[in-house]
């Protein structure tokens, strides 16, 4: 017997109409202390991001100088950040600095901040933050200590946020000048990640590199900008103007480094960072129409193809107000990851940008739902696809073809040299005259094939280089701002030789007739000449047939004696080894 069940789907409960909502009970969110640790941990998940937020707060306060002292692990477990901004009085500390959300900077396009959670930035990395701040004209300084723990137990997490003790503050007499104004933040009880920066030079300089990439810093000498300026001076002027408008000097000091003014890091600052081919400039004005209003957004920057893929530089650095928002991004272009690792560059988003909605709360990503992002993404994605195809994919394919040809040529030359060496070993005691010369003709009148000319026919600019070559004997690259591949080959490949009977023979490739001998051995001058027109070798001098023909020819001219069987075995050995 089959049983059945019936399901009744209730009609959805209708929401109160707009007019009737005021008749019910109003609901409010209840903020509890557990929100603090979650906001801080998820928003500032890296030390350099937390430092960036605190530095931007100082710049928003009008600072013209920011000093970061990463301290000394031996001298004290503390780091400090000082700016000469307008400072705060006790009321401003309570109402602005200690507020969560509802920042007065929201919709202020002259400010970096807009969310209002900056006070949480550094407490993920220490147990206590001491703030000393003063406004111009005040005779006192406000000293506050924030000590709320990041790890809260169940009872602490459920405590109402307005009842949760986050720290204490007081005003004390100031012994300096009344006109002074500043804010100094000292972080104590440092976590191991910060202690490593104090104790390990590599960790310190890694942090320095991260700050140089994300902060709104002045641009110093830039080799990349110099090259780009040769063809796109207006673009470079725009990028430099943007950096000048949105930058403040930041100095960093530590045990390993005297106070140093930071300059923004760009690709190519390190001599090992080189790019292939021409830089692709980006400069486009996009129009955004929303709610009946039209805004203009400018996308400016450049794309480059790394000669050697460095993971730290793969992808674009996207900047708004000269601050890096997304690093190593491809604006959601996901095709061909093998080629994407070579692409690097910067994208500046300028103009009438809706920064409040475009940038997520953690300032390290864009809001994909924002209309601005959709329009920007479509343009940049199209540029990436075009650049990837022209400057990366096509070039890589050309490199593969040319590298394959050079490798074949190199292997054949090595095989010929090995055959010649073994031929010299099986002859009688050398008499200084070298190999017995061939007696069956000459190819001197035929046209010679130049290996350099052959490689040029494959689309490479060929040059011979004596020193600094890799073990393979060649180097293949595309120079900066060039559209052709450059093949640098060692003299051994440009003018190949082989050694037999203690003598050096030049290997020459000449185009003869099919009836001419396949190989001629000469002693004046010492040459082994290959007839590329002979069927035994073929028309392409880098085919394996060249080595085979040489093995037969050398076996033929060696002293035979009367032992036919030994000669036969000797020929088979040559053929097997080649």
Fold of 220-247+265-369: Ribosomal Protein S5; domain 2 (3.30.230)
> Is a pLDDT exceeding 60 seen at residue 401?
yes
Band of pLDDT at residue 564, cut at 50, 70 and 90 = low
- pLDDT in the model for residue 5: 45
Q: Residue 48 CA to chain centroid, in angstroms?
A: 18
- pLDDT in the model for residue 7: 45
Q: Lowest mean pLDDT: which of 55-69, 237-251, 559-573?
A: 559-573
Nearest to 512 by CA among 487, 489, 490, 537: 537
- pLDDT in the model for residue 3: 47
- pLDDT in the model for residue 137: 94
- Tokens 């190519």 locate to 268
End-to-end distance of the chain based on CA atoms, in angstroms?
Answer: 82
Per-residue CA distances from 190 to 39, 127, 402, 474, 571 (Å)? 19, 7, 55, 52, 77
pLDDT digits (tens, 9 = 90+) for 191-206: 899 999 998 999 999 9
Residues 265/219, Cβ–Cβ less than 8 Å: no
Band of pLDDT at residue 544, cut at 50, 70 and 90 = low
> Is a pLDDT exceeding 70 seen at residue 366?
yes
Nearest to 474 by CA among 422, 519, 411: 411
Q: List, as one string, the DSSP characters of 303-342.
A: EEEESS--GGGSEEEEEETTEEEEEEE-TT--S-HHHHTT
Instruction: State the chain's mean pLDDT as an integer.
Output: 82
CATH class of residue range 32-199: alpha beta
Determine phi and psi for 537, rounding to 5 degrees.
-110, -45
Residues 284/101, Cβ–Cβ less than 8 Å: no
Q: Lowest mean pLDDT: which of 235-239, 270-274, 503-507, 512-516?
A: 512-516
> Is a pLDDT exceeding 50 seen at residue 378?
yes
pLDDT digits (tens, 9 = 90+) for 437-493: 775 556 655 677 788 888 888 888 999 988 888 888 999 888 888 878 899 999 988
pLDDT digits (tens, 9 = 90+) for 267-325: 998 888 999 888 999 999 999 988 888 999 999 999 999 988 898 899 999 999 899 99
Give the whole-angstrom CA distance, residue 7 versus residue 295. Answer: 53
Which residues does 267 contact at the CB level (< 8 Å), separation at least 6?
A: 224, 273, 275, 304, 306, 313, 344, 345
Q: Lowest mean pLDDT: which of 115-119, 398-402, 462-466, 505-509?
A: 115-119
Residue range(s) in the chain whose domain bears CATH number 3.30.565.10 = 32-199
> Is a pLDDT exceeding 70 seen at residue 99?
yes
Q: Lowest mean pLDDT: which of 180-184, 416-420, 502-506, 534-538?
A: 534-538
- pLDDT in the model for residue 409: 87
The stretch 487-501 carries a mean pLDDT of 87
The stretch 346-374 carries a mean pLDDT of 90
Q: Which two tokens stand for residue 240?
A: 């430099």
Q: Lowest mean pLDDT: which of 44-48, 301-305, 345-349?
A: 44-48
Q: Buried (b) or exposed (e) across 84-93, using 16+ Cβ within 10 A? A: bbbbbebebb
- pLDDT in the model for residue 255: 86
More confident: 100 or 59: 59
- pLDDT in the model for residue 440: 54
pLDDT digits (tens, 9 = 90+) for 103-141: 555 455 555 655 546 567 777 888 888 999 999 999 999
Q: Strand ranges (DSSP E) for 181-236? A: 182-188
- pLDDT in the model for residue 415: 80
The stretch 511-530 carries a mean pLDDT of 81
- pLDDT in the model for residue 241: 93
Q: Lowest mean pLDDT: which of 88-92, 100-104, 277-281, 359-363?
A: 100-104
Share above pLDDT 90 across residues of the chain, in percent, rounded to a whole number:
34
- pLDDT in the model for residue 534: 78
Residue range(s) in the chain whose domain bears CATH number 3.30.230 = 220-247+265-369
Compute the Cα dihedral for 45, 187, 70, 60 and give only its sign: positive
What are 201-204's contacts with CB under 8 Å, separation 24+? 201/256, 204/70, 204/254, 204/256, 204/257
CA 393-397-398 angle, to 5 degrees, is: 120
- pLDDT in the model for residue 1: 45
Residues 56/48, Cβ–Cβ less than 8 Å: no
Give the whole-angstrom CA distance, residue 410 versus residue 472. Answer: 8
Which residues does 566 contact at the CB level (< 8 Å), separation at least 6?
A: none
């Amino acid at each position: 017997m089959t049983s059945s069940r019936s399901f009744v789907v209730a009609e959805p409960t209708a929401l109160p109409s707009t007019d009737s909502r005021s008749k019910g009970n109003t609901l409010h969110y209840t903020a509890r202390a557990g929100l603090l640790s979650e906001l801080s941990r998820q928003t500032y998940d890296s030390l350099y991001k937390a430092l960036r937020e605190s530095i931007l707060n100082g710049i928003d306060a009008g600072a013209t100088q920011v000093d970061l002292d990463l301290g000394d692990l031996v001298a004290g477990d503390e780091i400090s950040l000082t700016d000469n901004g307008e400072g705060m009085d006790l009321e401003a500390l309570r109402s602005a600095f200690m507020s969560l959300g509802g920042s007065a900077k929201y919709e202020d396009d002259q400010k970096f901040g807009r969310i209002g959670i900056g006070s949480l930035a550094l407490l993920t990395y220490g147990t206590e933050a001491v703030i000393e701040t003063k406004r111009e004209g005040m005779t006192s300084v406000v000293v506050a200590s924030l000590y709320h723990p990041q790890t809260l137990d169940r009872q602490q997490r459920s405590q109402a946020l307005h009842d949760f003790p986050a720290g204490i503050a007081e005003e004390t007499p100031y012994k300096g000048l009344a006109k002074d104004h500043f804010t100094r933040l000292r972080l104590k009880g440092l976590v191991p990640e910060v202690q490593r920066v104090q104790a390990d030079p590599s960790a310190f300089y890694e942090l320095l590199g991260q700050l140089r990439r994300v902060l709104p810093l002045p641009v110093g000498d830039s080799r990349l900008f110099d090259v780009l300026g040769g063809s796109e001076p207006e673009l470079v002027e725009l990028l430099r103007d943007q950096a000048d408008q949105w930058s403040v000097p930041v100095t960093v000091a530590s045990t390993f480094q005297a106070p140093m003014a930071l300059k923004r890091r760009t690709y190519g600052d390190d001599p090992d960072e080189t790019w292939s081919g021409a830089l692709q400039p980006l400069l486009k004005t996009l129009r955004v129409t929303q709610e009946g209003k039209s805004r203009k957004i400018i996308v400016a920057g450049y794309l480059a193809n790394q000669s050697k893929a460095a993971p730290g530089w793969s992808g674009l650095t996207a900047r708004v107000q000269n601050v890096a928002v997304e690093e190593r991004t491809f604006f959601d272009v996901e095709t061909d990851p093998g080629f994407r690792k070579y692409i690097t560059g910067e994208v500046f988003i300028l103009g009438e940008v809706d920064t409040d909605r475009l940038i997520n709360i953690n300032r390290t990503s864009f809001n994909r739902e924002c209309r601005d992002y959709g329009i920007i993404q479509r343009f940049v994605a199209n540029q990436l696809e075009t650049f990837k195809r022209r400057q990366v994919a096509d070039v890589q394919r050309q490199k593969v073809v040319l590298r394959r040809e050079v490798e074949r040529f190199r292997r054949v030359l090595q095989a010929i040299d090995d055959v010649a060496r073994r031929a010299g070993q099986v002859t009688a005691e050398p008499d200084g005259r070298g190999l017995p010369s061939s007696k069956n003709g000459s190819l001197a009148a035929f046209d010679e094939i130049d290996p350099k000319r052959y490689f040029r026919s494959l689309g490479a600019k060929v040059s011979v280089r004596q020193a600094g070559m890799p073990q393979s004997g060649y180097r293949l690259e595309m120079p900066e701002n060039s559209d052709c591949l450059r093949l640098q080959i060692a003299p051994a490949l440009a003018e190949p030789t082989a050694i037999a009977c203690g003598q050096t023979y030049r290997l020459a490739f000449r185009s003869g007739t099919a009836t001419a001998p396949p190989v001629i051995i000469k002693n004046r001058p010492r040459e082994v000449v290959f007839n590329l027109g002979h069927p035994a070798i073929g028309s392409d001098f880098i085919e394996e047939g060249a080595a085979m023909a040489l093995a037969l020819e050398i076996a033929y001219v060696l002293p035979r004696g009367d032992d036919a069987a030994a000669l036969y075995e000797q020929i088979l050995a040559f053929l097997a080894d080649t």
